[in-house]
Amino acid sequence: MRFMMIVKATSDSEAGVMPSPELLEAMLRYNEELAKAGILLAADGLQSSSSGIRISYPEPGGKPKVIDGPFTETKEIIAGYTLIEVKSREEAVEWAMRMPDPHGNGQGEIELRQVFEPEELSPHAGIQKQIRLQFKL
C-alpha cells in the first residue's frame, strides 16, 4: 500500500528561508534510508506558496476562480511530500516517525495519508477486501 508523507509548511518555509545544512543533510540521509529499504517511490520539496496558484469553484457548476499566492493559513499549505510503498499502516507510521523534524523550529508537522488502491475504486472493492481479510493480506 502507498502512503504519502506530507510535510506542512511553516512561516520559515513560506518566507523562503532555506533549512539549515544539518537539516538538509539529515533529510538527504533519511531519503537514502528509504531508498535503501526499497520503499521510496517519489519525494519532492515544493516552492513557497508565493509562486502558487489556487483554482477554486465557489459556485457549483460555475466558472473556476483563479487566485495567485501567497496564501495564508500556513497549516493548510504543503511544503513537500514523500511517497512510500509499504506493507502496513504501522510500517508507514514507523517510517514517518523516523523522518527528521522537517523544520526544527517547533512548527514541524507531517501528515500521513494512504493512497487509494486501484481496486478500492472499483465496484468489486467489497469482495476484494473480504478476500484480503480472509487471507490476512
Partner 1 sequence: MNMSKAERTIDAIWRIESAKLIAGLTRMVRDIGLAEDLAQDALVIALERWPESGIPDNPGAWLMTTAKRRAIDLLRRNKLRDQKYEELAYHKDLYTEEDLDSRLDGEIGDDLLRLIFMTCHPILSQEARVALTLRLLCGLTTDEIAHAFLAAESTIAQRIVRAKRTLNSAKVPFEVPAGEELNDRMSAVLEVIYLMFNEGYSATAGEDWIRPLLCQEALRIGRVLAEIAPAEPEVHGLVALMEIQSSRFRTRVTRTGEPVLLLDQNRALWDQLLIHRGLAALERSQKLGQPYGPYALQAAISACHAKAHEASETDWPRIAALYEALSRVTPSPIVELNRAVAISMAFGPAFGLQIVDELNAEPSLRGYHLLPSVRGDLLYKLNRFNEAQEEFEHAASLTRNERERELLLKRAAECAVCKKK
Of 10, 19, 74, 95, the one binding partner 1 (CB under 8 A) is: 95
* 38 touches partner 1 (CB under 8 A): yes
Task: Scan residues 49-88 and list those touching partner 1 (CB under 8 A).
Answer: 83, 85, 87-88
Give the Cα separation of 104 and 54 in Å (integer): 28
Residue 6 pairs with which residues in a beta bridge?
Answer: 81, 111
The answer to whether 52 touches 71, Cβ cutoff 8 Å, is: yes
Nearer to partner 1, 24 or 35 (CB): 35
Nearer to partner 1, 54 or 98 (CB): 98
* 131 touches partner 1 (CB under 8 A): yes
| Shortest Å distance, C-beta 25 to partner 1 | 13
| Shortest Å distance, C-beta 61 to partner 1 | 26
The binding site for partner 1 (CB under 8 A) comprises: 32-33, 35-42, 83, 85, 87-88, 90-91, 93-95, 118-119, 122-124, 128, 131, 135-137
